[in-house]
Amino acid sequence: MRNWRSYGKEMAIGFVPVFIAFMIFVGVPALPLLLGAGLVGGLLFMAKSRSGMAFGGAARKGPSRPPAYLTFEDIGGQEQAKRELVEALDFLVQRERIAKLGIRPLKGILLTGPPGTGKTLLAKAAAKHTNSAFVAASGSEFVEMYVGVGAGRIRDIFRQARTLAAKQKRDSAIIFIDEIDAIGGKRDGSQNKEYDQTLNQLLTEMDGIQGDESVRVLIIAATNRKELLDNALTRPGRFDRHIQVDMPDRHGREHILRLHARNKPLSEEVSLDKVAEETFGFSGAQLESVMNEAAIYAMREESEVLRPAHLAQAIDKVMMGERMDRETTSEERERVALHELGHAIVAESVRPGSVAQVSLTPRGQALGYVRHHPRKDSYLYTKTYLEAQIQIALGGAVAEELHYGGRSTGSRGDFDQATNIVKTLIESGMTDLGIIHPEALTAEQWSKENGRILDALTDATRKLLSGQMDTFAKLLDILIREETLSGEELRAHLNAAAA
Q: Is residue 325 situated within a structural domain?
A: no
Same domain, 335 and 469: yes
Hey, is 287 helix, strand or coil? Answer: helix
Lowest mean pLDDT across 137-151, 218-232, 359-373, 475-489:
137-151
Same domain, 100 and 30: no
pLDDT tens per residue, range 114-172: 888 888 888 888 888 888 888 888 887 777 655 567 778 888 888 888 889 889 888 88
Same domain, 357 and 493: yes
Same domain, 287 and 256: yes
The C-alpha atoms of residue 210 and residue 214 are separated, in whole angstroms, by: 9
pLDDT tens per residue, range 456-496: 999 999 999 988 888 888 888 888 888 888 888 888 888 88
- pLDDT at site 420: 94
- Is the torsion defined by CA of 73, 74, 80, 83 positive or negative? negative
Q: Is 340 a catalytic residue?
A: yes
Q: Is residue 209 situated within a structural domain?
A: yes
Q: Is residue 60 situated within a structural domain?
A: no
Q: What pTM value is reported for the model?
A: 0.66
Q: Is residue 424 situated within a structural domain?
A: yes
Q: Are 431 and 460 in contact (CB under 8 A)?
A: no
Same domain, 114 and 145: yes
Q: Is residue 56 situated within a structural domain?
A: no
Catalytic residue among 205, 340, 387, 400: 340
- pLDDT at site 98: 77
Same domain, 193 and 118: yes
Q: Are 322 and 363 in contact (CB under 8 A)?
A: yes
Same domain, 214 and 269: no
The CATH number linked to 91 is 3.40.50.300
Q: How many distinct structural domains can be found in the chain?
A: 4
Q: Is residue 65 situated within a structural domain?
A: no
Of 266, 285, 320, the position where a domain reaches its end is 320
Q: Are 241 and 226 in contact (CB under 8 A)?
A: no
Of 288, 320, 352, the position where a domain reaches its end is 320
Same domain, 182 and 84: yes
CA-based nearest residue to 119, from 180, 34, 68: 180
Q: Are 239 and 177 in contact (CB under 8 A)?
A: no
Same domain, 343 and 292: no
Same domain, 239 and 257: no
The CATH number linked to 488 is 1.20.58.760
Same domain, 337 and 484: yes
Q: Is residue 347 situated within a structural domain?
A: yes
Domain span at residue 336 reads 330-498
The CATH number linked to 264 is 1.10.8.60
Task: Indicate if the pLDDT at residue 419 is higher than 90.
Answer: yes
